[in-house]
Structure 1
Amino acid sequence: MRWMGAGVLLLLSAGLAGEVAADEGTAPKEAPTRTSASSGTTTEVPSARGEAGDPLAKTEAVVWAAGEGARILRGEARSPLSRGEGNWIWQPGEPIRIAALRGEVVGFQVVVTAQDAPLEGVEVTIEPLRHEGGAPGRLEPETFVQHYVEVKARSRNAQHPAESLGWTPGARPPDTDVTGWLPDALIPLSARTAGLGRGQGAGGEGAPGRAFPWPLAIAPRQNGAIWVDVLVPEQAAAGLYTGKVRTTAGDVALGGLDVQLTVADAVLPYRPVNVFAYYDAYQMANRLGDRTPAGATASESQVWQLLHQHHVDALPPLTRPDEIERMRAALDGSLFTEAHGYRGPGVGVAPAVLALGTYGDLGEPNAETLARAEALAERVPEAIREVFVYAIDEQCDSPRGPGWKKLLQGSKIAGRVRVGHTCGRDPSRQDVDVVMVPAQRFDARTARAARALGKEVWVYNGALPQAGTFMIDAPITSLLANGWIAASYPVGRWFLWEVGFWHDGNRGGKGPIDPFVQPENFHNDDGDACLGDGMLLYPGTQVGAQATGSLGLPGVMPSLRLKALRRGIQDAGYAALARAGHTEEVDAILAKVIPVALQDADSARPAAWPRDGAAFAAAREALRALIPAGARLEAEAARRVLAEAADAREARTGAVAVQERRWWPWVVLALAVLAGVLAIAQMRRASRKA
């Protein structure tokens, strides 16, 4: 499914003020080194090039760090962040400083920038973080290589090139921000440690494939980078954790960085806002080449676990009872436990929502399809509270949804299963129980009217400036902002239409792509072309026409955009914890970061939230400072707190609108009087001329 149409606060204010192959070459010869554990520069070699204050002017390589909400292009060798300008986690000569709550996954990036000579054999190692006070346990970092893909052409519509499914013309991100070699796919280094990914395709020994990009090869004046995730278990001790980052090129030390992670004495709620995303287990099997006898991918459990690690519920295609049995461990939450190899937040938590017959796959409502729906529903674990028949997709006038609603009323699953569809019209006028509205068409007023009638109203996808967008050629803060929007507006749940859309199988689609090479993955017969739409995951193995691009890794891999989405969801959890005792302060922070979104946004203007990750980081720090020691909220309680925040924003907006309406008659009268005065003056001037 895809919408087919185109068309505290001082710190916060300071933050908001700011807004795959490398060229071959020989490794640098070993030179005298002076390694500092936190300086970010080593291997000093004088150079005539470089500007004053430019760290590249004196080094073979610069090792530096960046936080979540930043995206560093491969050719961005003189990024201001590398000099510490606007860098919220690192300054030259100082450690990496990050913070987290218990139950949180905090990310950061280590970037190696080559100077005049290419670098070969570059490796980055990060030791476990240990508690400064000697508390038991250590925090094990998980590392990923950032893969760069070249963005040449933008997401667009053939008839209206400035417009796309990701934005209006007025909100189109500038080319300078989103073209060139952008990082997106994140390739897990754990696979290399396990001896996987030797550059073989899926055809076996000797088959072609993409070489595993480790150690890094970095061309002159370019970057290579890794992403680092640090999971802080709920039972971890609060306090300071420290560790080190070391980088080498062969036997030459390039530099090191200290890491300081401060863990607060509070527990982040899991899934404080509910995001769920569809995956097609059968299409994935076509690409991964791991089809089971049932036809689905053998990597299905890993897809569930990966999304769960990012606070996202997976939404599978379900039309047969055996499909529920196949994924029972995911549906009852047991898949997300150590017994199943799970490591991440939300241990043992079942998904919040499940659809029967996604995108209308159950068919027309009749006795036979009702029996199938009943057979499915009776097998759904009780832990899943929201179950609905997904009757039809983006056909508001279809009788299928109302027909299913009427059919279920007299069935044995009445009350357990509701009926929903996607539609961009007024949800209060839709004769179904659940209306999923495109985020760019959501209106809190019509949603409130629908909810007063007992309906559920959710949003799906998103387009700038109303909401963040999937697209690779949008700022990395785009999906991050959606968590903040969900904490600020009454969106219900947030649905994402796909996560592994590598086959471009729409009407008007152009067929399968290798996403490591071609970011343009979506086309339709309305003339839309999109980069990264419905594609938050990457295939570890590719078969068929894409086998030459296969890494030979099992399962799927995350993206930088998925990490940004997780960051925004976790930030919503910060807001929920802080608002319990600091209502006005938190509401002010939310309003500062998200001045307007959804129905309040002006389609002719860019998105109102910052493009700069530093502003989000400043707001996050302001929220963290308001969270009381020992704070903990269950997910349902967190969502209630955020619903209250959304209601408060709506009340404030309504009060302003009422005030404006009160003044409007006087404004009209004043304008009329002014027009009359000007008319009389004009008549007098004309009379004098006569």
Structure 2
Amino acid sequence: MRAWRTRGPRARATGYPDGEPMRLFLVLLTVVLAPLAHGQRVQYSASPRLFPVWTNDGGDKVIQSDLRASLDASSVVNSTWDGERIRLFGARNEVVGFNLVIEAPLLPLENASVEFNRLDSGLGHVIRSDPAPGQGLFDWTSRPIELFFVRYLTIKGLSKLSYGTYDERHVPERMRRPWTGLGYGTGTWWDRQDHDQAYPEIAVPIELVPHFDVAQGTNQSVWVDVYIPKDALPATYTGVIRIRTGGALLHSIPVELNVRDFELADDPSCETMAVLGYADINLRYTGLPWPNCGTPQEITSKLVRDRHFMMAHRHRISLVDSETSGCNVWKNDAPRPEWLPRLDGSLFTAATGYEGPGEGTGNGVYSIGNYGSWWWKGQGQAAMWARTDGWVNWFEANSPATERFLYLIDESTNYAQTEQWAGWIENNPGPGNRLMSMATQDLPTTLTSTPSLDVTASWMRVGITSVWHNAAATIEADPTKRFYLYNGHRPAGGSFSTEDDGVALRVLAWSQFKKSIDRWFFWETTYYNNYQGGMGQTNVFESAHTFGSHSSFDNIIGETGWNYCNGDGVLFYPGTDTVYPSVSYGVLGPIASLRLKHWRRGIQDYEYLKMAQAKDPAAVATLVDSMIPKVLWEYGVNDPNDPTWVRTDISWSIDPDLWENARLQLAQIIEGP
């Protein structure tokens, strides 16, 4: 037997986790000797007992070396898996996801495949998917069930932008060192449970990897998404997942989906905004960062970008970009033409291959001059008035329901300049005074230094509770103001880092609900060129590190450098990659991250919360307080004279079953009298 891939300091000292070799040896004896005792021959490569399977809802990230079911089948029983069957529930117009885990503890599993394309109500209604070869992956009109082969990324260092390391409790649980008292850690990088482990992250459509191997001593995840159509019956739908090896049936796993008797809205209550890059996408798909107008590369660019919008829409997430995202200079007081179907919802219809949440519903938000890229900067008040008049006139005539704003400046401390620009818009005698101004800065600063600013987007790390509470209450009471938060940072909330807990982005959406945050903003989704870290083009299929520099190795936090971070700026992976062709799948559209799906789970929870709140606000408030007792500024700080730090653990549980139970409680409130 080979040396086992291990976890934890005690395992490293012995070469094996305590008792693991003997337990696995007993599994092997059971599989081998039991048939022989009855005079039977056995095909070991196709024995289901040699390759245990189980599922979870994805909120528990299963690293590739985990062999939980092989060691103790009872340890993997959870809200979606009773040891024999998969049990799910959801509303109409909801996507329910789950993670299938296939383990190969003793022998490699070769030429494996997974099949699942039908759920039957027994009452005449069926949820069924058709095959989707090639570019058909981006036609969802007959594919409510999608399967994804999961790729893994190795975590080699801690994400410095997502949490501090002065208190080990700020670090995701499985990346913590042993700690005592107020989070004081002991040990080194190698004492972190999941150091150098492969985390599940990239959801490659199974059509692109129809057959795969599972190496000995590892597992392989297959993610499944089920979109529950609006015409689904409130009934229990049943189906079967079949796992084969070399064509021979290995496992048949029953699936039950309980469709609840309510429907999620197409227009999400949980408002989001994530930035879609331009040059980075073009380089990967066409080989040119700035293709010329009318060329095949530019036509491909428009197709690929629209498919990003469609995939984001399937996950209930709104995208924004800049007027510079095009083949020519754009100085019109209107979005580029390709934005029209995104805004009016025609991009998200069956005519373009779209089916799912938000069908026929527009993107909902537009950022003018994203990141402060508006072209009339420096031309004075008259130019500001003329340009904002033009933008308001266009939107009121063509897309009045779209939330729009002028993105004045990003993370600037020149508050006098921000206030001047915002004041110009506010005092515009024409229609331009109806355009909101937006900037990224701390919310309390807006009240003291930029009172004319309409939309404040803040990055919440820690803060004095009373100061932030009062500022948020002031903004909430003013119907002309909006408050966004962007990115994420522990312990205030979940983060977007690859190694964060599987429930992290669910926590983020619940926090948005609890504190009445108008919109959650993620700074970039296709950051493939790590120019800010001086690292250049990233092979995102091989490297978890996407942002900041990697300049050294630290014995406590692993690989590190300026703002070193895993997964930051990347929620989509390129379906075609001309920079790293050896990892390219050759499809003209994005491949989703699992973090995109985790965020969707939280966004859909938000819809449950809003619907349940309308029925029983007291019960919902109690449930929210029990799930996230403290978030954002509720933690406070240890030193008001230096309000940049706090010693505390996170307030929420990372047990996905508790979160699924909370969703079930919300469903019961919604369906109640």
Q: TM-score, normalised by structure 2?
A: 0.77
C-alpha separation in 1, matches of 2:423 and 2:275: 26
Q: Structure 1 residue 288: deviation in Å?
A: 2.1
> Is residue 2:440 matched to residue 1:422?
yes
Q: Secondary structure at the match of 1:299?
A: helix
C-alpha separation in 2, matches of 1:228 and 1:352: 28
Q: Structure 1 residue 591: deviation in Å?
A: 0.9
Q: Structure 1 residue 441: deviation in Å?
A: 5.0
Match of 1:445 in 2: 470
Q: Structure 1 residue 452: deviation in Å?
A: 4.3
Contact 1:467 1:598 in 2 (8 A): yes
Q: Structure 1 residue 359: deviation in Å?
A: 0.6
Aligned length: 552
Which residue among 450, 456, 472 is the counterpart of 1:435? 456
Q: Structure 1 residue 415: deviation in Å?
A: 4.0
Match of 1:172 in 2: 171
Structure 1 residues 619 and 452, CA gap change in structure 2 (3 angstroms): closer
Q: Which amino acid aligns with 1:574?
A: Y
Aligned-pair identity (%)? 27
Which structure 1 residue ranges, 5 or more long, are not aligned?
1-40, 49-55, 157-163, 193-212, 632-690
Match of 1:135 in 2: 125
Residue deviations 1:243-277, cap 9 Å, x none?
10000110332111011001011011341211111
1:140-539 to 2 correspondences below 5 Å? 140-156=144-160, 164-167=161-164, 169-170=166-167, 171-173=170-172, 174=176, 175-177=192-194, 179-190=196-207, 192=208, 213-270=209-266, 271-289=268-286, 293-294=292-293, 298-318=303-323, 320=330, 321=332, 323-362=335-374, 363-364=377-378, 366=380, 367-368=382-383, 371-380=386-395, 381-408=398-425, 409-410=427-428, 412-426=430-444, 427-429=446-448, 430-431=450-451, 432-440=453-461, 443-452=468-477, 454-506=480-532, 508-523=533-548, 527-539=562-574
Match of 2:98 in 1: 108
Residue deviations 1:394-439, cap 9 Å, x none?
0132444323323333264424311110002513222311111113
Q: Secondary structure at the match of 1:176?
A: coil
Higher relative contact order (CA 8 A, sep 6+): 1
C-alpha separation in 2, matches of 1:233 and 1:131: 13
Q: Which region of structure 1 is more displaced relative to structure 2, 564-573 or 391-400?
A: 391-400
Which residue among 89, 92, 114 is the counterpart of 1:99? 89
Structure 1 residues 58 and 564, CA gap change in structure 2 (3 angstroms): closer
Contact 1:166 1:470 in 2 (8 A): no
Q: Secondary structure at the match of 2:68?
A: coil
Match of 2:31 in 1: 45
Q: Secondary structure at the match of 1:228?
A: strand
Which structure 2 residue ranges, 5 or more long, are not aligned?
1-26, 35-45, 130-143, 177-191, 325-329, 551-560, 637-645
Q: Structure 1 residue 590: deviation in Å?
A: 0.8
Structure 1 residues 441 and 491, CA gap change in structure 2 (3 angstroms): farther
Residue deviations 1:581-636, cap 9 Å, x none?
2222221111111110001126312321112211111111111121126x9xxxxx
Q: Which amino acid aligns with 1:542?
A: D
Contact 2:443 2:472 in 1 (8 A): no
Residue deviations 1:427-484, cap 9 Å, x none?
3222311111113257232122244454322111110000111101211211111111
Contact 1:351 1:384 in 2 (8 A): no
Q: Which amino acid aligns with 1:184?
A: E
Q: Which amino acid aligns with 1:471?
A: S
C-alpha separation in 1, matches of 2:525 and 2:258: 33
Contact 2:406 2:435 in 1 (8 A): yes
Q: Secondary structure at the match of 2:281?
A: helix
Contact 2:391 2:432 in 1 (8 A): no
Residue deviations 1:270-320, cap 9 Å, x none?
412111111112321122227653465541111111111111110111253
C-alpha separation in 1, matches of 2:264 and 2:435: 31
Q: Structure 1 residue 370: deviation in Å?
A: 5.4
Q: Structure 1 residue 534: deviation in Å?
A: 1.6
Choose 1 or 2 for highest CA Rg.
Answer: 1
Structure 1 residues 589 and 57, CA gap change in structure 2 (3 angstroms): farther
Q: TM-score, normalised by structure 1?
A: 0.75
C-alpha separation in 2, matches of 1:166 and 1:536: 19
Match of 2:581 in 1: 547
Residue deviations 1:328-374, cap 9 Å, x none?
10011111111111121011111222110011001345345655555
Two-structure CA RMSD over aligned residues (Å):
2.8
